């Protein structure tokens, strides 16, 4: 493959490493790890003159941190819904009486 001299003047694509790490810690560990793996490949592929590979790795890193963020949000919303339903059903059945709770 011939090197394109115009690619040498361009900057490498965004590696999305910061967002990959944030979504790994805060949202969804498995998808976040995949995003970190792809994001770490961007600069090394760019330096090896694999410009198309660097673009693909950048796109995959972005896709996977978005997947991790969405999965984390779905998990948070689902947990709030489950706990909300459980608390309201306990109140409705009389197992939990709000009047007898300790107050500060």
Give residue-wise pLDDT tens across range 53-76: 999 999 999 999 999 999 999 999
Query: Given this model, what pLDDT does residue 79 score?
Result: 96
With respect to residue 3, please indicate whether it lies within any of the assigned structural domains.
Answer: no
Whole-number pLDDT of residue 1? 47
The residues of the chain scoring below 70 in pLDDT are 1-9, 100-101, 104
Number of domains in the chain: 1
Q: Does residue 60 form part of some domain?
A: yes
Torsion angle, CA of 77/81/87/88, rounded to 10 degrees? Answer: 140
Is 38 within a domain? yes
Residue 7 in any domain: the answer is no
Please give the pLDDT value at position 91.
85
Q: Residue written as tokens 């910061």?
A: 18
**Is 89 within the bounds of a domain?**
yes
Give the single-character DSSP code of 10: S
Instruction: Please check whether residue 51 lies inside any domain of the structure.
Output: yes
How high is the pLDDT of residue 51?
Answer: 95
Q: Which domain holds residue 34?
A: 12-99
pLDDT of residue 4: 55
Does 26 reside within a domain?
yes
> Do the domain assignments include residue 1?
no
pLDDT score of 8 = 56
CA 59 to chain centre: 14
């Amino acid at each position: 493959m011939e090197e394109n001299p115009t690619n040498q003047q361009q900057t490498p694509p965004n590696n999305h490493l910061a967002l990959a790490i944030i979504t790994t810690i805060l949202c969804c560990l498995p998808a976040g790890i995949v995003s970190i793996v792809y994001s770490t490949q961007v600069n090394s592929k760019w330096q090896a003159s694999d410009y198309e590979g660097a673009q693909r790795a950048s796109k995959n890193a972005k896709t996977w941190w978005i997947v991790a963020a969405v999965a984390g949000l779905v998990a948070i919303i689902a947990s709030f819904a489950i706990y909300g339903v459980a608390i309201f059903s306990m109140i409705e059945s009389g197992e939990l009486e709000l009047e007898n709770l300790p107050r500060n």
